[in-house]
Structure 1
Amino acid sequence: MSALRQGVNRAALLCAAAVLLGAGAALATTADAVRDRLPSGWPRLGTDRVWLDEDTLGRWRDHGWWPPVVIAALAVPLLLFLCWGVLEVRAGRLRVLPLGRPGVTLAGPALAAAMAERLRAIDGVARADVRLLGRPRRLRARITLVLTPDGSPRAALRQLAQQAVAEARAAAAPRTLEADVRISVKAHRTRRIH
């Protein structure tokens, strides 16, 4: 995921969280249990507050333009949120990678499985998982390696770069392929002596 997309996602989630948290906190101050525990200087909504009295509601009923405006004002953010969600889902795993000739494709999960099998053959690797993400023009492989307790991270990374990633880059050429590697070590199982 690009830095711009991550920034937009985090900003959108932060704004939504701030609005929901503020609205929830404001509404919570109307409950007696919450009001009694708040410091005396904090703002709070009155328990007898009326949001729309009968006179105001009667004036609004005389105008026929406001229901469509309110519905549109609520529908636009909902549609934007749905579009954003669809874009996020589509930017996930790579399904199909078109190759040089029209109609010839390579399945993304097949390339990921081939990379994972190649990585499992490296000495000192207990488990390897590969996910291909991104778009067909710019690929990113998220690789998770679990090494055996006696495995060498340096040797595993060297073989990963020279074999599995190099072969995947050759298969995906002329597209770029970035690799994010996460390494952990399989813990020793402690033996219990009875």
Structure 2
Amino acid sequence: MSRVIGKANRVLLALAGLILLIVGGGVLATGLGVSVPSWWPFDGKSDVLLSRSDRYRWRGDGWWWPVVIAVLAVLLLIALWWLLAQLSRSRVSEVLIDSGDGEGAVLRGRALEDALGDEADRLDGVSETKVRLSGRRTAPRARIRLRMEPHGAPAEVLRGLSDEALAHARTSAGLDELPAEVRLKAVKHRAERVT
């Protein structure tokens, strides 16, 4: 589901950027005196976005300009929130390890994800594992997706994951705790005709 949201997010972002680029480029070209197509709403350097009659149309109504400013402010806040959401990193790139000598060490987040995933893959009843570390580099959290084989027992897999894979990851990274969110999904086999 998050992959679909991510693709939709990228498409919407690209579409918004393309529209803003075309409109902004057209307004800039018109302001610089470059000839623009006949269908373009602005004619030349002396043309304005809002004419005097447009600006004064609702001047007598006290609600008009506060509403316009409020709507534009909300749109600006939504755009800033969306930009910050794009820039935030949801994946931990490195984990800070206390080596005991006061210096510390750094472990690549992908290496810990791979090690945790490889060990979880070896559990009986698991066919595929995806691991993602999030949070801070001093206190990472694991999001683990396990695809279960039909013969796999969820309770045993979770016990093995907690007692073995997560315990080994915590010990090797020198972490006091490594909270994990585990999602189990069953493998779907296609029905085949037997002759």
Q: Residue 150 of structure 1 aligns with which residue? A: 151
Q: Which moved more, 1:122-131 or 1:95-104?
A: 95-104
Relative to the length of structure 2, the TM-score reads: 0.56
Q: Does 1:140 align with 2:141?
A: yes
* Correspondences of 1:98-117 after superposition (within 5 Å): 98-100=96-98, 102=103, 104-117=105-118
Q: Residue 164 of structure 2 aligns with which residue? A: 163
CA deviations 1:151-183 (Å, max 9, x no partner) are: 111111110000011112223434532100001
**Superposition RMSD in Å:** 3.5
Q: Residue 34 of structure 2 aligns with which residue? A: none
Q: Residue 128 of structure 1 aligns with which residue? A: 129
Whole-angstrom distance in 1 between the partners of 2:169 and 2:128: 19
Structure 1 residue 103: Cα displacement: 6.7
CA deviations 1:110-161 (Å, max 9, x no partner) are: 1000000001111111111111111113211110111111111111111000
> What number of residue pairs does the alignment pair up?
135
Query: Residue 91 of structure 1 contacts residue 135 of structure 1 at CA under 8 Å; is this kept in 2?
Result: no
Question: Helix, strand or coil for the counterpart of 1:123?
Answer: coil
* Correspondences of 1:47-66 after superposition (within 5 Å): 54-55=52-53, 57=55
Q: Residue 90 of structure 1 aligns with which residue? A: 88
> Which amino acid letter does the alignment assign opposite residue 147 of structure 2?
V
Query: Residue 96 of structure 2 contacts residue 138 of structure 2 at CA under 8 Å; is this kept in 1?
Result: no
Question: Helix, strand or coil for the counterpart of 2:193?
Answer: coil
Relative to the length of structure 1, the TM-score reads: 0.56
Whole-angstrom distance in 2 between the partners of 1:176 and 1:156: 20
- C-alpha distance 189-58 of structure 1, shift in aligned 2 (>3 A): closer
CA deviations 1:52-110 (Å, max 9, x no partner) are: 77456369xxxxxxxxxx99x96896478446643664340000112225472100011
Whole-angstrom distance in 1 between the partners of 2:96 and 2:154: 34
Structure 1 spans left out of the alignment, 5+ residues: 1-51, 60-69
- C-alpha distance 174-184 of structure 1, shift in aligned 2 (>3 A): closer
Structure 2 spans left out of the alignment, 5+ residues: 1-49, 58-67
Q: Percent identity?
A: 37
Question: Helix, strand or coil for the counterpart of 2:147?
Answer: strand
